[in-house]
């Protein structure tokens, strides 16, 4: 079994970051989390721009940072593709891409052969002689990707590489990245806030919050059964995370949600309940009868979601939930930010599982 492309078991005390994660060889890891969660610090630990205060970092089984060990960034065989291409303006496209192989000792002809192959791989071989100031944003980012691939890195770091592009250019580059990464078995970390990037590129997901790993798993596992607030937002579902109080119930503070238990049998301990915003009905007061899940909330926001309106609310226990309703229903209810309402969801719409 080959060593992971990246192994980080390290702390950066001055940033309150302490992480334990691996990127298996040949897989793409999506590193997710809110702003300030520690994602940039993890990339810095891998790239060599951040020194750990404890623990160690390994690249392809080689220790590159730790006690009495420090391998400088240019010797780690890690490439970075960031939001901005940062191409060298005094060189043409071919020379930009050939720069990495030349720096590793390749001759000019060999480096240019590699550069042409990488430009062809990302679909811009015809731009080889063009100066970088004549490239569009999407073209420049493709060239930057070719440049990152040219030195044959052990690991590619993708730091929100599509965020500065328009919708069409981002969609095109996303497909190029998918073919370049998933179609060739390269190893990579992608930092993104875009669900489409995760779905197109990632084999695995790690969610950071407060400088710690709070969730990890395959992409399918995290999106189908999130166990963190960020994972739930990405998957587009409501999450109640707390303690199991019955075979099919989760309690978080004063909030208790019943549903249908799935997966391995639930045991005492942490459990999660998830349900779609579209499964939630909004009432001014608790309805008659005996609906199983009735959650009083204070409305914190209203957002248009296509043909529906998303009503965001927070319970007294601090649980943040959302309901998707029609504009007609919202008009009838006369609901505004700051109002107290009731979210109602049937137990059959709630998935309960171990957390």
How far is C-alpha 253 from the chain's CA centre? 28
Q: What is the DSSP code (8-state) at residue 206?
A: E
Beta-bridge partners for 30? 190, 205
DSSP, collapsed to helix, strand or coil, labels residue 168 as: helix
Q: Look over the chain and give the mean of its residue pLDDT values, rounded to a whole number.
A: 94
Contacts of 237 (CB under 8 A, 6+ apart): 226, 274, 275, 276, 277
DSSP, collapsed to helix, strand or coil, labels residue 191 as: strand
pLDDT digits (tens, 9 = 90+) for 46-55: 999 999 999 9
Q: How far is CA 132 from CA 21, 78, 173, 269, 334, in A?
A: 37, 23, 18, 57, 55
pLDDT digits (tens, 9 = 90+) for 287-316: 877 678 999 999 999 999 999 999 999 999
- Which residue, chain included where needed, has tokens 């065989």? 77
Average pLDDT over residues 93-122: 95
- Beta strand 54-59 with 78-81 is unpaired
pLDDT digits (tens, 9 = 90+) for 231-273: 999 999 999 999 998 888 999 999 999 999 887 766 778 999 9
Instruction: Name which of 155, 44, 132, 36 is nearest 84 in CA terms.
Output: 132
**Is residue 2 very low, low, confident or very high in pLDDT (cuts 50, 70, 90)?**
confident
Contacts of 265 (CB under 8 A, 6+ apart): none
pLDDT digits (tens, 9 = 90+) for 15-56: 999 999 999 999 999 999 999 999 999 999 999 999 999 999
Instruction: Name which of 101, 137, 106, 3 is nearest 57 in CA terms.
Output: 3
Instruction: Name which of 187, 105, 82 is nearest 151 in CA terms.
Output: 105
Average pLDDT over residues 189-215: 96
pLDDT digits (tens, 9 = 90+) for 266-276: 677 899 999 99
* Domains, the chain, ordered by start: 6-222 (3.40.50.300), 237-354 (2.40.50.100)
CA distance 200 to 348: 31
pTM above 0.85, yes or no: yes
Instruction: Name which of 67, 59, 52 is nearest 10 in CA terms.
Output: 52
Number of helical (H) and strand (E) elements in the chain, helices listed first = 9, 22
User: b/e map of 272-306 (b: 16 or more CB within 10 Å)?
Assistant: bbbbbbebbebeeeeeeeeebbbbebebeeeeeee
């Amino acid at each position: 079994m080959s060593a992971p492309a990246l192994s980080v078991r390290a702390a950066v005390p001055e940033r309150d970051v302490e992480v334990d994660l691996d990127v298996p060889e040949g897989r793409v890891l999506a590193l997710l989390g809110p702003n300030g969660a520690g994602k940039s610090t993890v990339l810095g630990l891998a790239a060599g721009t951040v020194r750990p205060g404890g623990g160690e970092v390994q690249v392809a089984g080689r220790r590159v940072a730790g006690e009495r060990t420090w391998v400088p960034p240019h010797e780690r065989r890690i490439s970075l593709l960031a939001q901005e291409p940062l191409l060298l303006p005094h060189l043409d496209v071919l020379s930009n891409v050939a720069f990495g192989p030349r720096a590793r000792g390749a001759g000019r002809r060999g480096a240019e052969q590699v550069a042409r192959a990488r430009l062809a791989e990302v679909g811009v071989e015809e731009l080889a002689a063009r100066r970088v100031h004549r490239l569009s944003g999407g073209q420049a980012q493709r060239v930057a990707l070719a440049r990152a691939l040219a030195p044959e890195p052990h690991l590619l770091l993708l730091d929100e590489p599509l965020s500065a592009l328009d919708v069409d250019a981002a969609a095109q580059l996303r497909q190029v990245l998918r073919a370049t990464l998933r179609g060739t078995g390269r190893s990579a970390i992608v930092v993104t806030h875009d669900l489409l990037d995760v779905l197109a590129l990632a084999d695995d997901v790690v969610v950071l919050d407060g400088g710690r790993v709070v969730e990890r798993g395959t992409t399918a596992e995290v999106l189908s059964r999130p166990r963190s607030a960020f994972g739930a937002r990405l998957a587009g579902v409501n999450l109640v995370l707390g303690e199991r109080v019955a075979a099919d119930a989760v309690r978080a503070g004063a909030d208790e949600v019943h549903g249908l238990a799935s997966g391995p049998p639930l045991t005492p301990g942490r459990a999660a309940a998830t349900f779609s915003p579209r499964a939630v009905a909004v009432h001014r007061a608790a309805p008659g009868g005996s609906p199983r899940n009735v959650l009083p909330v204070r409305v914190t926001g209203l957002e248009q979601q296509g043909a529906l309106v998303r009503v965001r609310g927070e319970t007294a226990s601090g649980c943040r939930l959302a309901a998707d309703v029609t504009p007609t229903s919202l008009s009838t209810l006369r609901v505004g930010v700051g109002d107290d309402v009731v979210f109602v969801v049937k137990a059959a719409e709630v998935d309960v599982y171990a957390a």
